[in-house]
Amino acid sequence: MVTIMRDFPSCFGENGVQVADSSSSSSAAKAAQNLVTCVYQCRLHGRLCFITVTWTKNLMGQGLSVVIGDSADHCLCKADIKPWLFSKRKGSKHFEVDCGKIDICWDLSNARFGSGPEPVEGYYLAVAFEQEMVLILGDLEEEAIKKVDTGARVHSDSGAVFVAKREHIVGKRFYGVKAQFCDKGRTHDMVIECDTVDLKDPCLVIRIDSKTVMQVERLRWKFRGNQTILVDGLQVEVFWDVHNWLFGNAMGNAVFMFQSCLPAEKFCGNQSVFDPSVLTWSYSQKFRDHQAQSLGFSLILYAWKHE
């Protein structure tokens, strides 16, 4: 196993070290837990774009937003499906943009959900450009194609690539999440363990499918850092920042990023390079230059401590 320790803040930009402020509260943690953001790299007739899908959950039900932007992070269109409008569980929206027509269709009327805001099965979310399907989520692909247009079809050279996911998790000592580390990769059970209560020298442990893959001792000295692990034969670089757990307020959150880098030729016919600047979240403004030479997958977790 290769271990690489570098300066964690430099990986996310100079302003990236602060991941929670003193106003964090249990209500903020609860609200954050019910929000998941996914980023997909797609092509609109050969034009590189990024589709950001945010799933939400509140007392009124599930909802989502879809934002389509170009490689320069300019928003082409945005669709909000609010959870309190029952009719919006199934529908479509159409946008005329400079480069053509974008259709967004969804059907969540029979969707089944787990503990989080993302549907598990019985749904579809589809995005098409000029009657060409560029993104389909869910297990009802045929229904999605019929809804968009009888001529719409999926092209292997324009399929979406799942490049990033941001999720919030809450715990006291154990933080569990379903995780994958590459596009169409296996789903794993991951547990982050860290007991910071009344311990002079806490330890951080990460387990994947019950197997310990990383352990950081003397955490008060190593509250920020990174290390490389192997998952499914892939090198995955793990970044952590647990400063707020150790030195912040009781409801502070830590942040973890799992970054896998794969050869670019495996994605989009080696015609594009993933620009990590599309991840405009406050703590990840910029990745290192060498990471921009590879397409990979980024899983970013906010871990909220609930005492």
Q: CA–CA separation, 125 vs 91, rounded Å?
A: 10
Distance CA 225, CA 71 (A): 30
Please state the rounded mean pLDDT for residues 276-299: 46
Give the residue-averaged pLDDT of 50-79. 86
43: its two tokens? 């092509």
Predicted TM-score (pTM) of the model is 0.77
In angstroms, the CA 70 to CA 139 distance is 27
| 167 neighbors 29 (Cβ within 8 angstroms) | no
What is the C-alpha R_g of the chain?
A: 20
Lowest mean pLDDT across 16-25, 35-44, 183-192: 16-25
Q: What whole-number distance in Å separates Cα of residue 279 and Cα of residue 52?
A: 10
**56 within 8 A of 35, measured Cβ to Cβ:** yes
What tokens does 157 get? 């050279």
Q: Which residue blocks in the chain are alpha helix, DSSP H?
A: 8-11, 26-33, 141-148, 243-247
Which carries the bigger pLDDT value, residue 22 or residue 68? 68
- What tens digit of pLDDT does each residue of 231-274 get? 888 889 999 999 988 887 656 789 999 998 755 444 443 333 33
Question: Sign of dihedral through CA atoms 219, 223, 228, 231?
Answer: positive
Structure-token pair, residue 243: 């400063």
Mean pLDDT, the chain, integer: 75
Which residues, 6+ apart, have CB-to-CB distance to 78 below 8 Å? 65, 66, 67, 68
Q: Pick from 225, 265, 282: which is nearest to 37 by CA?
A: 282
Residue pair 95/77 in contact (Cβ under 8 Å)? The answer is yes
**CA separation for the pair 252, 245 (Å, rounded):** 6
What pLDDT score was predicted for residue 150? 47
For residue 49, name the pLDDT band (cuts at 50, 70, 90): confident
The answer for residues whose C-beta is within 8 angstroms of residue 198's C-beta and 6 or more apart is none
- Whether 1 contacts 228, CB under 8 Å: yes
**The length of the chain, given as a count of residues:** 307
